[in-house]
Structure 1
Amino acid sequence: MEDIATYVPSPPPHWVERFAKFGLTAKGIVYCLVGTIAFMAAFRINGNSTEDASRSSVFSFILQQPFGQVLLALIAVGLLCFALWRIIQAVKDTEQKGSDPMGIGRRISYAFSGIVYGSFAVLAAKMVMGSRGSDGGEDSRQTLARELLQQPFGQWLAGAVAIGTMIWGLSQIYRSFSGKYKKSVQRAHHTRTTENILLKTGKVGYLARGVVLNIIGYLFLKAALDANPQEAGNTTSAFRFLQESSYGSFLLGTVALGLICYGIFMFVRARYQAL
């Protein structure tokens, strides 16, 4: 019987790696800014509110800086690169997740992430070209909830999206506690002190992101159960939910610091992770 050689997956092409690193850097910048503004909103610093922590507001903030149009254009390109990298991961299976149910589920999550960040890239690009985006009115998740609820079995469809979002959030929390994020740090040659700081940054960052995603999923589930798309919400809605809870400023401030940590960890991945 012929021996079967152990298959070692080949690394992705260099252009895919460049897409990923540029995209991770752009994602890190956005998360650091969202977390910073959310922290300021938690304690009413400079009059900031949770509305100022929306992505469109963050993009507006960037646009108002010196060379803001150029900076936001670079971020738009970076987010598009991240979206394309996720789509490539899903379609080409560059991480060798396979075609079993677990692997297919993981690849679907990559594709979903690609679509989400692609929409952020489009929003940033529109704002560079002079459109204000969707600062007021219905946000994208409310639009999605409304469209789903108008379909046959709409509440079931909306409920499935809500549960999927919460599963995504739980996977981020699991990633935090399981330590799966550590490989992007431990491959680099750091001092022990630096590595410990970076490991803690990643742990807190993934935990905070998981909390926000679970709140978004919960709000979407409420919209599904009540057949009311206005109850669905985005990251800003999650921040408002935290702020209106008991010890709201403390909770929102803690999660905001966690999101800053997540942004910093994206820089670490962009610099050191072997893709």
Structure 2
Amino acid sequence: MSAWALTRRGRRTARRASDSSALEAAARWGFTARGVLYVLVGVLALRIAFGQGTQEADRGGALSEVAGRPLGSFLLWALGIGLVGMALWRLSEALFGAAGPDGHKPRKRLLSLARFFFYGFVAYTVLSFAAGSRGSGSGSSDQQSEDVTARAMELPAGQWIVGVGGLAIAVTGVWIAVRAALRKYHKHLKMGELRGRTRQAVDVAGVAGGIARGAVFAVLGGFAVKAAVDYEPDKAKGIDDTLRSFAGTPAGPWLLALIAVGLALFGVFSFAMARWRKI
């Protein structure tokens, strides 16, 4: 058999592996893990809005909340492994293309690759936390953001790097919110299996959750841009401080409460994606 034929067979085998039921299960597990984290961050932010929160409303706070529950250690490992599954699924999309008619386009593959790195990093922090390295997963997102920004600004053209990065995050936030409002997620769902009130509930969670998530990213990126313009790394904020900034608006804690409910709804939407997402 020629080398070309062997290569072609290898690609077919890899493609079948990427479409396997095991990878589909891993992806759905990953959506579930993502949902749990967003629900917990939303709950923590809601507590802060009403003056009852003591933990930070970010991934570290969510992991600490899980760790304090019965079977907390088991749940942490389950979340971390689920996020590994999400990362591997995104990697398979980058290598072999995603579901849908345009899933093989280079832009889609690059987006999947970026998501692979993102979820890979999140999975690493969660698994590190589960293994006992508390600083990796539970460190303040605000302090981490300031540290990363400060190190980036020390690089040649660091001020521009931070500014462009912040702008990219802000634009991504707007993109997330707009796509949610337009219900672009419909093309990824098995809409034929959604009926009546179930479909309405999924749309409420998808739209409200996506807009809230996009708003957080947009404001987070805005703080990074401001830090770059003023050349003050401490003006960069993590998720917790970004959420708290909503309470400093004229709407007061009610805006933070609204965003918190939206983030929790995005978690619920992630559960719906785990059930009805086309993999």
Same fold (TM over 0.5): yes
| The one of 240, 246, 249 aligned to 2:250 | 246
Matched AA of 2:20: P
**Alpha-carbon deviation of 1:205?**
0.7
Give runs of aligned pairs for residues 66-81 of structure 1, distance below 5 A. 66-81=70-85
2:176 is the alignment partner of 1:148: no
Match of 1:4 in 2: none
Match of 1:118 in 2: 120
**TM-superposition CA deviations, 1:224-258 (whole Å, max 9, x none):** 11222221122112111111222221111001111
Matched AA of 2:256: L
| The one of 162, 176, 183 aligned to 2:180 | 176
| The one of 92, 98, 102 aligned to 2:96 | 92
Instruction: For 1:257 and 1:89, locate their aligned partners in 2 and report how far apart those are by CA, in whole Å.
Output: 31
Instruction: For 1:137 and 1:36, locate their aligned partners in 2 and report how far apart those are by CA, in whole Å.
Output: 17
SS at match of 1:112: helix
Q: For the Cα contact (< 8 Å) 2:50–2:253, is it kept in 1?
A: yes
SS at match of 1:37: helix
**Alpha-carbon deviation of 1:12?**
3.1
Q: For the Cα contact (< 8 Å) 2:87–2:115, is it kept in 1?
A: yes
2:53 is the alignment partner of 1:48: yes
Match of 2:21 in 1: 14
Instruction: For 1:137 and 1:233, locate their aligned partners in 2 and report how far apart those are by CA, in whole Å.
Output: 8
**Alpha-carbon deviation of 1:97?**
4.4
| The one of 68, 71, 87 aligned to 1:83 | 87
SS at match of 2:115: helix
SS at match of 1:247: coil
TM-align CA RMSD = 2.2
**TM-superposition CA deviations, 1:2-59 (whole Å, max 9, x none):** xxxxxxx998333332221111110001001111111111012xx315x521211210
Q: For the Cα contact (< 8 Å) 2:142–2:238, is it kept in 1?
A: no
2:234 is the alignment partner of 1:222: no
Question: Structure 1's 88 and 237: CA in aligned 2 closer, same or farther, altered over 3 A?
Answer: farther
SS at match of 1:199: helix
Match of 2:129 in 1: 127
SS at match of 1:156: helix
Instruction: For 1:272 and 1:230, locate their aligned partners in 2 and report how far apart those are by CA, in whole Å.
Output: 42
TM-score (normalizing by structure 2): 0.85
**TM-superposition CA deviations, 1:70-94 (whole Å, max 9, x none):** 0111001111222222233234333
TM-score (normalizing by structure 1): 0.86
Instruction: For 1:236 and 1:138, locate their aligned partners in 2 and report how far apart those are by CA, in whole Å.
Output: 7
Instruction: For 1:74 and 1:35, locate their aligned partners in 2 and report how far apart those are by CA, in whole Å.
Output: 20
Matched AA of 2:53: N
2:240 is the alignment partner of 1:236: yes
Instruction: For 2:128 and 2:79, locate their aligned partners in 1 and report how far apart those are by CA, in whole Å.
Output: 12
**Alpha-carbon deviation of 1:188?**
4.2
Match of 1:5 in 2: none
Give runs of aligned pairs for residues 142-221 of structure 1, distance below 5 A. 142-185=146-189, 187-221=191-225
Instruction: For 1:167 and 1:199, locate their aligned partners in 2 and report how far apart those are by CA, in whole Å.
Output: 23
Instruction: For 1:137 and 1:166, locate their aligned partners in 2 and report how far apart those are by CA, in whole Å.
Output: 17
Q: For the Cα contact (< 8 Å) 1:12–1:94, is it kept in 2?
A: no
Instruction: For 1:91 and 1:139, locate their aligned partners in 2 and report how far apart those are by CA, in whole Å.
Output: 35
**Alpha-carbon deviation of 1:265?**
0.7
2:63 is the alignment partner of 1:59: yes
**TM-superposition CA deviations, 1:180-211 (whole Å, max 9, x none):** 11234552423312211211211111100000
2:42 is the alignment partner of 1:35: yes
Instruction: For 1:153 and 1:94, locate their aligned partners in 2 and report how far apart those are by CA, in whole Å.
Output: 36
Instruction: For 1:273 and 1:25, locate their aligned partners in 2 and report how far apart those are by CA, in whole Å.
Output: 12
Number of equivalences: 259
Instruction: For 1:90 and 1:166, locate their aligned partners in 2 and report how far apart those are by CA, in whole Å.
Output: 24
SS at match of 1:118: helix
Q: For the Cα contact (< 8 Å) 2:159–2:229, is it kept in 1?
A: yes
